[in-house]
Structure 1
Amino acid sequence: MELNNSDRLGSILKTARKTKGLTREQLAEIINITPRYLMSIENESKKPSYDVLFRLIRELGIPADTIFYPENQNIDTEVEHLVRLLYLCNERELKIATATIQALVDNKQ
């Protein structure tokens, strides 16, 4: 059974939310919508507004191509995933990540 675009969107959002360890209530609060509205997007093929979709994509770190070009089915490499995670870090966390990665590289040699 092939998912239509709305079903696929809900599935992508729900998977990303769970992967990030957020409850529906937590994510709804973060992006300033009701948990019921989020549930209807995830489970009932409700189409979110552009603004809500934008906030969901940004908060969950979902590559926009996953939603807008699902036919491409890009393979999500570890490096791409790491880069997306880095965009979610603040300056202090970026310094820690950089130092950690540098230590890993230095220990390889």
Structure 2
Amino acid sequence: MYQYEKRLDCRALGKEIKRRRKAKGWTQEHLAQLVDLTPRSIMYIENKGQHTSLNAFYKLVTLLDISVDEFFYPDKHNGEDERRKHIDRMLNGMDEKELTIMESAAEGICKARETEEA
């Protein structure tokens, strides 16, 4: 019988959880209360990549707005440009007003490109 050998390495996800938590100004204790875990569990998840229940995992990634594709399918994301990742991280830290400005800038670039091509 075939047994699937691949395991999810949660260390990178733990680092992202920590980064997003700190960006929100939350302590481990506060996050632990929100997802019904102990602060020690949050510490182990962030620093050691400890696995958690699916329910706690779901709460963490939805509260912190983390896309898990890059952690579940790392081979598909390894070729992704570092500049795009950096821009995504910056955009994730912006408020609605700042995002509106960025959206307008991107739309302006697209319109300028269309004008050049015409």
**Structure-1-length-normalised TM-score:** 0.62
Query: Could you tell me which of 50, 63, 67 is aligned with 2:67?
Result: 63
- Name the structure 2 match of 1:30: 34
Percent identity for Structure 1 against Structure 2: 30
Question: May I ask how many residue pairs the two structures share in their alignment?
Answer: 89
- Name the structure 1 match of 2:24: 20
- 2:64 partner amino acid: L
Q: Which runs of 5+ in 2 are unaligned?
A: 1-7, 109-118
For 1:93-104, what aligned pairs fall within 5 Å after superposition? Answer: 97=96, 101=100
Q: Which runs of 5+ in 1 are unaligned?
A: 87-96
Higher Cα Rg, which structure: 2
Tell whether 2:36 aligns with 1:10. Answer: no
**Structure-2-length-normalised TM-score:** 0.58
Q: Considering only aligned residues, what root-mean-square deviation do their CA atoms show, in Å?
A: 3.2
